[in-house]
A and B are shown apart, each in its own frame.
Chain A
Amino acid sequence: MSTVTWITARGLFGRSRFLMLLPLPLILIGLAVLCRSLGVDPGQWGPPVLVGLGLAVVLPVVALIEGTGVLGAEIDDGTVVHILTKPLPRWQIVLPKLAVAAGVTAVTVGVPIYVAGVLADSVRLGLALVVASAAGALAYSALFLALSLVTRRPVLLGLVYVLIWEGLLGRFVSGTRVLSIQQWVIALADRMAPTPLLGTSVSVPVAAVLTALVAVGFTVLAIDRLRSFSVAGETS
């Protein structure tokens, strides 16, 4: 494990904001178990729990907390200077931090979405959701990590993207779905485990290509912004 990864992981698990990650996955598992135990038809509870809660809320919100936290929290408290005053190419800082954010998001979302997928349909759907949400975790994390370097309000902008763009516009303006990570995740999962529980108008090739483009593009942007990172003077 690289030193940057180690410091990032220690910082993440040492901060109270990590506790914020726990309720949403627990609610997702709880709802799936409740519906299954009450014998509700999966066709009724599957879409709102798997997509409405799992992929539309839990995945982006966890990714938002992680993606903006791995670097944004260090920028906020000034500890980023400790890492930046080292003779490291900036990609050696961004990539480990992205790996931690995407990895923790993938695990935090993967476990409950797998359980919910298995309870709703099959192990195959559970695994498809795990793989697709891992790809989504990478894309979301790259986006939010880059946001923490281009704006002082990454959480606010991230919420605007998730709630307004994906949540609101995605529901009423079908064209916006092409630029929605959530829809790409659904398309990828549906391709791996076709099921009526998941439905999207975005094609699989478009989803795969755009997921890769967003992950790579925002990572490159983050590396470039970190190269030009400026520290604001306190007393000037």
Chain B
Amino acid sequence: MTAISTQSTAGAPAAATSTLDLAGVSRWYGNVVAVNDVTMRLGPGVTGLLGPNGAGKTTLLHMMAGFLSPSRGTVTLDGEPTWRNPGVYRRLGLVSEREAVHTFLSAYEFVLASAKLHRLPDPEAATKRAIELVEMEDAQTRRIGTYSKGMRQRTRVAAALVHDPQVLLLDEPFNGMDPRQRLHMMALLHRLGDAGRTILFSSHILEEVEQVSGTVQVMVAGRLAASGDYRTIRRLMTNRPHVFAVRSTDDRALAVALMAEASVSGVELGRTGLTVKAGDYGAFTRALPRIALRHGIRVRQLLPEDESLESVFSYLVEA
């Protein structure tokens, strides 16, 4: 499998930002290789860690968070190793997949305990801010044991954000959330990414990743299969023709004309328009207006049909 890579994350790191680096990281358990030779750099912005179940996402996240030593390679945060180095948690927050919270505490007590353990100068104010961020003000004094799964998840996110970390790692953060909470969490991640935080969240649900982040790291069978903006990744897959839906004032005439174009490998005439397969994305999109103009046809719609994350993902998994 060949990894496809584009630009890692948006923007260059500023002074107050952090960068998480993985260099040749592998992790194996006996003869089972969970993560195989992964190299990536995560900077400010929101990145989705995508992969089917068993792809190695959680293992990778645990290594990033300092909860697992790499069998080979290094994981560093701003040059410092994350393994056996509790100091990194001043800049790093983790929301693990497991629903682990002290159910005998209230959300306020839980988040306040986090703030105190971080030795924040004003733990009460930090707690208030973190609880407001996840909209848990109304239930903050109730015992966590009485919360729904989504409320527990938001409480854990508040605890992970209480010290305003530069890097936030979230393992399947949308699990158990209802649609409104999901949207709220997505907006929160967007805001944090826009504010220069390095956010990495894992998911096996494509729609979630698509809505939160254009930048993805795709894990398949322990390897990093692709890295970067998924639309760009799609365009780099030159061995797979790009599929476009085209509607025009004369679909049949346009189909005949397109077949003469070198970048087009197939045209299908349907009831609602044409489905065009093009080997070269750029050549086709440049040629189409020229061909249409030459034949006096007006193009009403041009839609790339397989540029969704789902298509990119399925191509990568099948490869």
Contacts and interface: CB of A to CB of B under 8 A. Distances in A.
A22 to B, nearest CB: 19
A230 B114 contact: no
B102 A10 contact: yes
Interface in A72-91: 77-90
B117 A88 contact: yes
Interface string B76-102: 000000001011111011101111111
Given A11-B102, A86-B89, A236-B58, A231 B114 contact: no
Given A86-B89, A230-B69, A4 B96 contact: no
Contact of B101 (A3, A14, A82, A227): A82
B90 A87 contact: yes
B53 A88 contact: no
B160 interface: yes
Contacts of A78: 96, 98-100
A88 B113 CA distance: 13
Contacts of A213: none
Interface in A15-50: 15
Q: A-side binding surface: helix, strand, loop or mixed? A: loop
Given A81-B67, A85-B93, A236-B34, A14 B104 contact: yes
A81 B117 CA distance: 13
B86 A90 contact: yes
Given A10-B105, A11-B104, A85-B160, A230 B94 contact: no
B155 to A, nearest CB: 11
Interface residues of B, number: 40
A235 B58 contact: yes
Contact of A231 (B67, B88, B99): B67
B113 A236 contact: no
Counting chain B CB atoms within 10 Å of each CB, the highest count among A79, A84, A88, A236 belongs to: A236
Interface in B165-183: 172
B86 A233 contact: no
B117 A233 contact: no
Interface of A: 3-4, 6-7, 10-11, 14-15, 77-90, 227-231, 233-236
Interface of B: 34, 53-54, 56-59, 62, 65, 67-69, 84, 86-90, 92-94, 96-102, 104-105, 110, 113-114, 116-119, 159-160, 172
29 contacts: A7-B102, A10-B102, A78-B96, A78-B98, A78-B100, A79-B100, A79-B101, A80-B100, A81-B67, A81-B98, A82-B100, A82-B102, A82-B114, A82-B159, A85-B92, A86-B86, A87-B86, A87-B88, A88-B86, A230-B62, A231-B68, A233-B34, A233-B68, A234-B58, A234-B98, A236-B54, A236-B56, A236-B57, A236-B59
